[in-house]
Structure 1
Amino acid sequence: MKNLLPFFTRIPVRGDFEKIREELWALPLLAPLTSALGTLVLYLNLPLANVLAVLVLYLTIGLLHLDGLADWADGVMVKGDRERKIMAMKDLNTGIAGLFAVIMVLFLQVYSLPLLPFYALFLAELNSKFAMLIALATKKPLGQGLGAYFMEGLNKKQLVLGTALYLALLLPFAYFDLRSLSSLAGLVAGIYVVRLSIKEFGGLNGDCIGAVAEITRAGVLLGMAMVWSYFGG
């Protein structure tokens, strides 16, 4: 798992980039690390804990996926054929669609957290990382970038192992509180992003996978917030 850390987080450890493809199964195991500081902030109930939790989350994971979300949204929203959509996604300038998508994802995370138990951020990150694994498992690369590179290295054995890890980390929370299963709403949102990307672009690249990660996390927190608000106590 250590080789995933330098690429998927800002944790200062060294890793071998060539071995990342062999460790993609461990993506769900990143969730306890990437959510640790934010979860601690929420547990201690510090002032503005929801804002601080989101800030430390992005200090841990970086802004790469958020940037991918912006590019993806620009591509999805532009009118025209696939070629034009792909060009818009690859444009270095961020359009209004990308800006709106980033603001909404940040907004949903910040305003959902006060309604939820402190461990919600962990569940959001767990589903986010697993959604990325699902996206890579589609084997629908767009271009020859990092997305294609990782897809080529992901095999069925890794997918099965990653799924087992995901369930092992999720089910204990569901056992103690069935409402935790509402986090699956975010996973459904992430899978929808995968399908939409294939429809609009013909495949997935790094920007698409970044969008999957961000929308899944925000979807988890929104879905859980709605359930906790309705079935409080």
Structure 2
Amino acid sequence: MPDRRPRPADEPPGDETGGTAGVGAGRAPGGLPLGDGLRLALTTLTVLPVRTGIVDRRSAAVAMSAAPLIGALLGGVLAAVFVVLGQNLVAATVTVAAGALLTRGLHLDGLADTVDALGSYRAGPAALEIMKKPDIGPFGVAAIALTLLIQAATLTEAGPWAIVAAWAAGRLAVTVACRRGVPAARPGGLGALVAATVPVPLVLAAAALVAAGAVWAVPGRPWQGPAAVAGALLVLVLLLRHAVRRFGGITGDVLGAAVELTTTVTLIGLTLG
């Protein structure tokens, strides 16, 4: 999820971490910026042309906490597309393509940049510099191709509710990655704005809700959905630990990679057996 967040013209000046100097219209000082946070979540995680409000770490905390809800909404739209097109291979391919279009392909771009940086075997600033390059290397191309292929293949074995569950789990990855204790790799950019904004209890509650919703993802196997979500989150935690070790923390690209990896692993878990 590269740092392409638009800065609204009426946004007060702030520091490099996204903090602003003023309080948004209608927000009491110290109040919870639900409206600003939900708008930020929609503009960051979807292609919807929603006008952003005040963008600071408080609204970022709301946005990152609401990410699974946005994922469930995206999953609902994609599930409808899949059903209307007949739930076959063509429908699966179009559904995956629609998923990329509805997010402007930002998560796939973040996946490619992250894999290129990891594949370079460099660490710290040298790895971050590779992430910032506009081109995509062979590791990144392979990562995008394999991810899209696996997602399309698994959708041919999945039902509509499995799509909702997988896309909600994919955006849950953002909430987990932005939990307290996970640092940002850079002093500026999207990663610095959202890193360590979500309290751990809220992360656990969001994970429990997504896992509970996945109970209906596999008909006749109520345990498989929660197990798939749990397995995907385990893989995510390993990715985040590796990112902190190699890059020093998370970036917008790492968040994009986390979304695609968690969505894909969840789909695999939902369609096994």
| TM surpasses 0.5 | yes
Give CA-to-partner distance per residue, 1:96-121, whole Å, 9 cap, x none. Answer: 01111111111110111101222221
Given the alignment of the two structures, is residue 115 of structure 1 paired with residue 161 of structure 2, yes or no? no
Which residue number in structure 2 is paired with residue 69 of structure 1?
111
Q: Shift in Å at residue 221 of structure 1?
A: 1.1
Given the alignment of the two structures, is residue 205 of structure 1 paired with residue 251 of structure 2, yes or no? yes
Q: Shift in Å at residue 43 of structure 1?
A: 2.4
Alignment equivalent of 1:99, drawn from 105, 129, 141: 141
Which residue number in structure 2 is paired with residue 148 of structure 1?
192
Q: Shift in Å at residue 212 of structure 1?
A: 0.6
Is the contact between residue 128 and residue 187 of structure 1 (CA under 8 Å) also seen in structure 2? no
Q: Shift in Å at residue 189 of structure 1?
A: 2.1
Is the contact between residue 34 and residue 125 of structure 1 (CA under 8 Å) also seen in structure 2? yes
Distance 1:107 1:91 in 2: 25
Task: Mark the CA change 1:204 to 1:172 in structure 2 (over 3 Å): closer, same or farther.
Answer: same
Which residue number in structure 2 is paired with residue 7 of structure 1?
44
Task: Mark the CA change 1:17 to 1:98 in structure 2 (over 3 Å): closer, same or farther.
Answer: farther
Given the alignment of the two structures, is residue 44 of structure 1 paired with residue 84 of structure 2, yes or no? yes
Which residue number in structure 1 is paired with residue 70 of structure 2?
30
Task: Mark the CA change 1:15 to 1:171 in structure 2 (over 3 Å): closer, same or farther.
Answer: farther
Show structure 1 runs of 5+ residues with no match: none
Comparing 33-42 and 164-173, the one that deviates more: 164-173
Given the alignment of the two structures, is residue 162 of structure 1 paired with residue 206 of structure 2, yes or no? yes
AA at the equivalent of 2:146: M
Higher radius of gyration, 1 or 2: 2
TM-score after normalising by structure 1: 0.86
Partner SS for 2:66 = helix
TM-score after normalising by structure 2: 0.75
Comparing 155-164 and 127-136, the one that deviates more: 155-164
Q: Shift in Å at residue 205 of structure 1?
A: 0.8
Give CA-to-partner distance per residue, 1:57-89, whole Å, 9 cap, x none. Answer: 122222111111111001000134433322222
User: Between Structure 1 and Structure 2, which shows a larger proportion of helix residues?
Assistant: 1
Give CA-to-partner distance per residue, 1:138-173, whole Å, 9 cap, x none. Answer: 431100221111125333464355345434533555
Is the contact between residue 174 and residue 181 of structure 1 (CA under 8 Å) also seen in structure 2? no
Aligned length: 227
Distance 2:121 2:207 in 1: 36
Q: Shift in Å at residue 217 of structure 1?
A: 0.7
Distance 1:156 1:80 in 2: 30
Give CA-to-partner distance per residue, 1:167-194, whole Å, 9 cap, x none. Answer: 4533555796222234222222222211
Deviating 4+ runs (over 4 angstroms): 171-176
Which residue number in structure 2 is paired with residue 181 of structure 1?
226
